[in-house]
Amino acid sequence: MATYEPVIGLETHVELGTNTKMFCGCPTVFGAEPNTQVCPVCLGLPGSLPVANKAAIEATIRIGLALNCSIATWCRFARKNYFYPDMPKNFQISQYDEPLCVDGYLDVDVDGQTIRVGIERVHLEEDTGKTLHIGGATGRIHGATESLVDYNRAGIPLVEIVTKPVAGTGQLAPAVARAYVTELRDLLRTLDVSDVRMEQGSMRCDVNTSLNKPGEEWGTRTETKNVNSLRSVERAVRSEMLRQASVLDAGGSITQETRHFHEDTGDTTSGRSKETATDYRYFPEPDLVPLAPDPAWVETLKAALPETPRARRARLQQEWRVSDHDLQSIVNAGAVELIEATVAAGATPDAARKWWLGELARRANNDGVELSALAVTPADVAELQQLVDAGKLTDKLARQVLEGTLAGEGSPSAVMAARGVEVVSDTGALTAAVDEAIAANPDVAAKIREGKVAAAGVLVGAVMKATRGQADAKTVRDLIVSRLS
Amino acid sequence: MAAISRDEVAHLARLSRLAVTEDELDMFAGQLDVILQSVARIGDVAAADIPPTSHSVPLTNVLREDVVVPGISREDALAMAPDSAEDRFRVPRILEEEA
């Protein structure tokens, strides 16, 4: 494996979060009943004409600017012809040799290094319909006897972001691929142009991989499709690197082809080979006039770009005074925004970090969900910490209250009220409980009087039991020792 | 030399899923050749200072606002299709070469 150098490239498709489709006024609601968001334009009916969506163009230019691209001053849409029923027109409107945005980059941090991933182009096209294959096994096209098509998705604005080849990252290549897609997702989310939900297909990745011996020309590449989670991006590159290395080690050669990634096994298998891939016969789309974004408009959009996630992380690292390593843990846990919001709600950075990376990360991990999917808000966490700081909850009780909040019982204070949980801070009641425990355990009390303070544990346990755990153990211990000294 | 070969016409017919007979291939190849050669003559007068025309009207940036416009009902959409099932358009198996 170490005898080969990988070169990777990523093509990412992102559905824009516009209200309407790219070339018609149909709505774009995810999960709508099949074929209820269609019209003559997106059904490709004769005589219908497309008109480009201004919001989609604006979003694409903003993406290009955020990726440090140059924005075209004049460009056209192109017609990509192919025979497949996912587009009823028998072609897809895309961009070919005149993309809206070209030649940018995105910096990503991997293993303490900054790697600049070049961006070749960002172009705008329309998404295709969804096909359901009937008669074959598990809905796949192999063995299918017929297909059922839903055109709700056909025509939704789709942005394609293509990297330049990324070479020289060696064994880090799988991690670089993942870091790039993660950074891109966070950037797109910050721009508020897409909901970037890989599991719902609003962000999809194709991964190109090739291997070559050091000093030699780049090898033949394969394109792995169907890579639909951040983890899968990393796995797909790694598995394809291993597969190609074993082919090359055995004296074989790599076939240029499309491969499919399988989420369950983490393997790729050969798909349609490139030589049977369709000849798309691109030509300028005659039904749409050229786009010529006004440079002044582009400048306005550029000036209004939000802080990038990477700049924001650098700023927060300073504000929170955390190490590179701790910041990486926060990023990996997907907790940057959550901690930021918790701090904004009044918690200290350390306290916010303790909850999100501790108890809540454990819970999210057990449930197999993202931190942000937990039924607890940053405001809840801040409130919980304030209750601890005010002495109304011990850490142990706070965790119980958090359980309640996670179970949907309401905010921490609501859970405390409903469950009757609160630290017994009334010294009178606590002193009574301590005296009771001393009276019930004269032997232990005698030992403590002789200076064997370690024996106090038994009495602390008795008091905690009597107060149903709602006392602060340290306060109880101090009280016992002072009563017996 | 011909501007388009008989093989290229056969390839385009296949991409377009048009069933073209051998005789028709000969005929279309000849006709398309005449058309292409005629269009190619424009190249004789094209000058470097004249940009290629892709649209007959000198317009740019014809855009629409991102506002929903009602489309057509599913019933109407599917009624125009040769076949449908489960509220979807039904089509024969595609890409037989893959199956």
Looking at residue B40, which CATH number applies to its domain? 1.10.20.60
Burial (CB count within 10 angstroms: exposed 0-12, middle 13-18, buried 19+), residue A138:
exposed
End-to-end CA distance of chain B: 40
The answer on pLDDT for A272 being more than 90 is no
Domains in chain A, start-ordered, CATH in brackets?
Answer: 5-302 (no CATH), 307-419 (no CATH), 427-484 (1.10.10.410)
The answer on pLDDT for B98 being more than 60 is no
Candidates A141, A289, A294, partner chain B, best to mutate (most B CBs within 10 A): A289
Residue in chain B lying closest to A280 (CA):
B15
A53: chain B residues, CB-CB within 8 Å: 63-64, 66
Single pTM value for the model: 0.80
Which spans in A288-410 are helix H?
295-303, 309-320, 324-332, 336-344, 349-357, 359-367, 378-389, 395-406
Q: Is B24 a domain residue?
A: yes
Which of A51, A85, A135 comes nearest B94 by C-beta? A85
Q: Is B76 a domain residue?
A: no
| A132–B contact, CB cutoff 8 A | yes
Q: Is B84 a domain residue?
A: no
Q: Chain A: give the shortest CA distance to residue B61, in Å.
A: 5
Under 8 Å between Cβ of A480 and A452: no
Q: Tell me A381's DSSP state.
A: H
Q: How far is CA A463 from CA A183, A210, A438, A447, in A?
A: 52, 67, 10, 18
| A19–B contact, CB cutoff 8 A | yes
B71: chain A residues, CB-CB within 8 Å: 24-26, 37-40, 42
Contact assignment for A35 to B88 by CB distance below 8 Å: yes
- Averaged over A258-264, what is the pLDDT? 88
The residue range of the domain holding B13 is: 6-45
Q: B39: Cβ–Cβ under 8 A, 6 or more apart, which residues? A: none
C-alpha B97 chain-centroid distance = 22
The interface predicted TM-score (ipTM) is 0.87
Q: Chain B: give the shortest CA distance to residue A71, in Å.
A: 15
pLDDT for the residue A271: 79
* Number of domains chain B is built from: 1
pLDDT for the residue B95: 59
Q: Is B62 a domain residue?
A: no
- Averaged over A253-266, what is the pLDDT? 89
Over residues B12-70, the pLDDT tens digits come to 898 888 999 999 999 999 999 999 999 888 888 877 888 777 788 889 999 999 999 99
Q: Is B89 a domain residue?
A: no
